[in-house]
Amino acid sequence: MIQKIEILYQDTDYLIVNKPAGILTIPDRFDSNIINVTTELKKQFASIFTVHRIDRYTSGVLCFAKNEAAHKHLNAQFEHHTLQKTYLALVHGNAPDDGIIDFKIMEDPSKPGRMEASEKHGKPALTKFKTLQQFGNISLVEIYPETGRTHQIRVHFLAIGHPLLIDEMYGSAEPFLLSSVKRKYKLSKLQETENPLMQRLTLHASKIEFKHIVDEKTISITAPLPKDFAAVIKQLEKL
């Protein structure tokens, strides 16, 4: 069993949860026994429709519909880009204050499951962002993807020279250690090795805004930062 999935919002039409990092959104294509959010929620709710996905090692807002009408209504907003998704990411380097990344995204022909940015080939993809804080050679950025291509944020930030701080597929798989940024770091007497502050994808789906099917009013839901992500930011701010 996985940890209890935090429900951020629900009514008769929608269910919005805070997905833990490391858990799939939907069942795995090859192994249905791998735990995933959709299957877990179906144990609690009679009717659940998947609307969108976030990567396995990304945490944060995940939206489901409870009936076919709400599902269709949300899908239309995703398709026409009238709904707003916001992410937070820690990336390498001093990112620009803000910007728009406009590269097409295509499959990497040499590496199955991996995507790459291209000026000429692939599907159109657009990512807007602004930098919230800079910590030496690390930046905290807020990201607003206008499209929803596979691995879009990860691929786009790699393309502009600012890959995610931890990203096994598109950058470095090395965990974040406090000793990497704190010059006089010392292990405590009870420690034999240093414990990483974070060792997964440094990406969090922080917010979603969409129009409700009943009255077209805007629903805005925010997922708090998980402990590992918040701990890294806290230490970077101190230094």
CA nearest to 204, candidates 32, 33, 54, 23: 54
CA nearest to 203, candidates 235, 225, 186: 225
Q: Given the residues 31, 55, 102, 108, select the one marked as catalytic.
A: 55
Active-site residue 98, yes or no? no
Residues 6+ apart with CB under 8 A from 143: 86, 87, 88, 89, 127, 128, 129, 153
Cβ neighbours of 146 (radius 10 Å) = 16
Cβ neighbours of 55 (radius 10 Å) = 19
Alpha helices, DSSP H, located in the chain: 37-42, 68-79, 152-159, 227-238
Catalytic residues: 55
